[in-house]
Amino acid sequence: MSVGAVLKAKIAAHVVSVEPSATVLEIAEIISSRRIGAVLVLDDRGGVAGIVSERDVVKALAAHTDKVVTMRADDLMTQNVTTATSETTVVEAMELMDHGYFRHLPVVNDGKVEGIISIRDLVKYRIMEHERDADNMKAYIGGVA
């Protein structure tokens, strides 16, 4: 199965993003109020400039306690963001996340941000896939007997 299928299955496929000038406080409020783990930082053309995760905010708070409220997204964002396409398989996406030690993966097709998936989205999709396979197997066995 593909990352595109996971995006289609998501209830909230809206991409939450900020500009590079967004403050850490603004980002923390967005992450907290939307109950998400990361926000994309988009450049002036709508491309991915970076990503800021809840871990980045916590690290900034620990390292720069007195300055964190004046810091901006472009001060702490991950700049070289690994992305997937809609055709990336779920297994490939999970391997990318595991190898890179991150939990959020933007989906970009032809330079356009299509969405963002989390490891939770992928695990949920895999569970649904296994349940569907088990139901199909039960139906098959029940039909044969």
* Nearest C-alpha neighbor of 51 from the set 63, 64, 37: 37
Residue-wise pLDDT for 56-71, tens only, equals: 999 999 998 888 888 9
pLDDT of residue 144: 62
What are the start-end ranges of the E strands in the chain?
17-18, 38-42, 48-53, 104-109, 112-118
pLDDT of residue 8: 87
**Backbone φ and ψ of 128, nearest 5°:** -60, -40
Residue-wise pLDDT for 69-111, tens only, equals: 889 999 999 999 999 999 999 999 999 999 999 999 999 999 8
Q: How far apart are CA 72 and CA 129, in angstroms?
A: 40
Mean of the per-residue pLDDT values of the chain: 90
Average pLDDT value for residue range 33-46: 94
The reported pTM is: 0.83
CA-CA-CA-CA dihedral for 72, 73, 74, 76, to nearest 10: 90
Gyration radius of the chain over CA positions: 18
